[in-house]
Chains A and B, each alone.
Chain A
Amino acid sequence: MKTIKVSVVTPDGPVYEADVEMVSTKAESGELGILAGHVPMVAPLQIGAVRLKNGDQTDFVAVNGGFLEVRPDQVTILAQSAEQANEIDLERAKLARERAEQRLNDQKRDNVDIRRAELALQRAVNRVNVSERNV
């Protein structure tokens, strides 16, 4: 099968670079699957997992938002942070999840704090899921 070059880039440097058969991820507007030869496209991403399929092997990368740029021979994902599944610190993500849940249960906070806690929770849950390959 034809492959397409994928790179996941963050401000702290490239996180993932490889040739894969299919990229699938969640964009703001819904699930998205990309094969080689796709029309050039830009789409913002949700906090979620990027699945990179190559043969029978699938790699997982957790991305925190950002967006996806597609060219016929290349896919670039630009995110403010991203980790490959095996690089995620599971303990830390679980702690972060607990902290965020606690904050959300604490009702006295204003909207900004709640919004931030929600985002933090999403990120933590995403990391835990990706790390456990549970997506």
Chain B
Amino acid sequence: MASLRDIKNRITSTKKTSQITKAMQMVSAAKMTRAEMNAKAFVPYMEKIQDVTASIALGSSDASHPMLVSRPVKKTGYVVITSDRGLAGAYNSSILRAVNQTIQKRHKSNDEFVIIAVGRTALDFFKGKGMNVILDIVGVADQPSFAEIKDIASKTVGMFSDETFDELFIYYSHYVSAIQQDVTSKKILPLTDISSSDKLASYEFEPSAEEILKVLLPQYAESLIYGALLDSKASEHASRMTAMKSATDNANDLINSLSLSYNRARQAAITQEITEIVGGAAALE
């Protein structure tokens, strides 16, 4: 049985750990609220751009654009969004597992696909597996602005245009609620399934539908990537919060059971002392 001092030490260190995890939990909770707000602020933009894109792409049949057309797939691009830091429960591992499984299933060799990694975890994972990471970005802020992600988004869209790859998927964690986040995969390019609300307005185009598509479609694809990033940031903080909450709970359980054994040990020591004294006194009589 562990000595009194050992137990005491363990209690103190567990308490300190729980203080840290508790603090991290509260920080993540605050960040999650902000991230959720950012994701909400983005919704009007996304809805609008989707409406306009759909009404142009679906409305005028004569308008065509390379981004709307599927071509034979020689190479596939995967955008994988993870966090830079760990301690977020299954957040990173579930995304990476999903991507890895898809890749194993669809591709026979590493030449058939390229990876665009957002976040250090994804970068290290795919590099470690010897896969072809063509673009990466680490150190994305907790509240990313569009300007921050613009560079990688437009480069990614540009790579589709210059046929570095022929289709593009994005893998990220979709924020459902504070306790539920789902790994989601979406096909971004080519833009074959643009959904729209029922009311399609018929527009005049100035100067022409083609010219507008040229501006609009890259912007639309970039917004899809940015939207996914905002969504996954909210998930990251939510899942870190949950992970830290359960860590704190575990620490508290541990402290409780340790205190119990500490008290038992202390009681045992006292009892033993009394017995010894009584025994000693009896021997003297």
- A residues sitting closer than 8 Å to B (CB atoms) are 7, 9-14, 27-29, 32, 39-44, 65-67, 69-71, 76, 78, 80-81
A80-B211 in contact (CB<8A): no
Task: Check if B52 is an interface residue, CB within 8 A of chain A.
Answer: yes
CB pairs A–B below 8 angstroms (15 shown): A13-B38, A13-B45, A28-B207, A28-B215, A40-B203, A40-B204, A41-B205, A41-B206, A43-B205, A44-B215, A78-B45, A78-B49, A78-B219, A80-B222, A81-B147
The 8 Å CB contact of A13, one of B42, B201, B223, B226, is: B42
A9-B216 in contact (CB<8A): no
In angstroms, Cα B45 to Cα A62, docked, is: 17
A43-B146 in contact (CB<8A): no
Q: A11-B226, A76-B48, A78-B45 are in contact. Are A42 and B205 (CB under 8 A)?
A: yes
Q: A27-B206, A42-B56, A67-B215 are in contact. Are A11 and B146 (CB under 8 A)?
A: yes
* CB-based A-B contact count at 8 angstroms: 79
Which residues of B lie under 8 Å from residue A28 when comparing CB positions?
Answer: 207, 211, 215
- B residues sitting closer than 8 Å to A (CB atoms) are 38, 41-42, 44-45, 48-49, 52, 56, 145-147, 150, 201-207, 211-212, 215-216, 219, 222-223, 226
B48-A42 in contact (CB<8A): no
Identify whether the interface residues of A are mostly helix, strand, loop, or mixed.
strand
Residue of B145, B215, B216 with most chain A CB atoms under a 10 A cut-off: B215
The 8 Å CB contact of B45, one of A11, A40, A43, A71, is: A11
Which residues of A lie under 8 Å from residue B206 when comparing CB positions?
Answer: 27, 29, 32, 41-43
B48-A69 in contact (CB<8A): yes
B41-A12 in contact (CB<8A): yes
The 8 Å CB contact of A12, one of B52, B146, B222, is: B146
Q: A9-B48, A41-B205, A43-B206 are in contact. Are A81 and B146 (CB under 8 A)?
A: yes
B146-A42 in contact (CB<8A): no
